[in-house]
Amino acid sequence: MAIPIIPPGLPPSQGPLGPRKIGEKKEGQQQAPKAEPGQIREPALDARGIAVRLAVLATEAKRKELSMARIVEQAIEETGMTNPQAAMEEVNKRLQVEMDAVLEEIKSNKELMEEAEAWEALGDLLESNLSQDQLQAFIALVEGHIKEI
């Protein structure tokens, strides 16, 4: 069923389906139930609402399809492989190796880990011995000194 287009300048009641009174039901049309106070109604699922939702979904699907196609193309370019699935798996393996290397570097930096543990211990100590107001005042004092530096 095609949605009738109302020419500009005509009120909806004078559209291509002929004149009708506001609130008048067409033959076979059901009236949507009115929402009671405090009750939330879902948006009406009329033909126009469904068409708009389907158009939005189609546009989003197309965009995601294009971005996925670009990712696959880039993987093929990086690996030189012709099989898209194999190229994606190879890129995934390379990324995993890079992430593992960065993680190991962080873990191996003993000095950094010890400093982080010391700050965490200080935080636990302060939290257990100070009230919330005292803790906020202490943090504000430290921030003030850092800003002066």
Mind listing the pLDDT tens digit of every residue in the chain (149 residues)?
455 555 555 455 554 555 555 555 555 555 555 555 555 555 556 677 777 777 777 788 777 777 888 888 888 998 999 999 999 999 899 989 998 888 788 778 887 778 878 888 888 888 888 888 888 888 888 888 888 87
> 104 with 114, same domain?
no
Q: What does pTM read for this prediction? A: 0.35
Q: Whole domain around residue 136: which residue ranges?
A: 110-141
> 116 with 92, same domain?
no
Q: What is the C-alpha separation between 61 and 54, in angstroms, rounded?
A: 10
| Domain count across the chain | 2
pLDDT at 17: 53
pLDDT at 5: 56
Q: What is the C-alpha separation between 1 and 118, in angstroms, rounded?
A: 70
> Is 18 among the domain residues?
no
> Is 103 among the domain residues?
yes
User: Residue 17, CB half-sphere, CA atoms under 13 Å: how many?
Assistant: 13
> Is residue 120 classed as helix, strand or coil in its secondary structure?
helix
pLDDT at 80: 92
Nearest to 88 by CA among 66, 69, 64: 69
> Is 89 among the domain residues?
yes
- Check: CB of residue 84 under 8 Å from CB of residue 75: yes
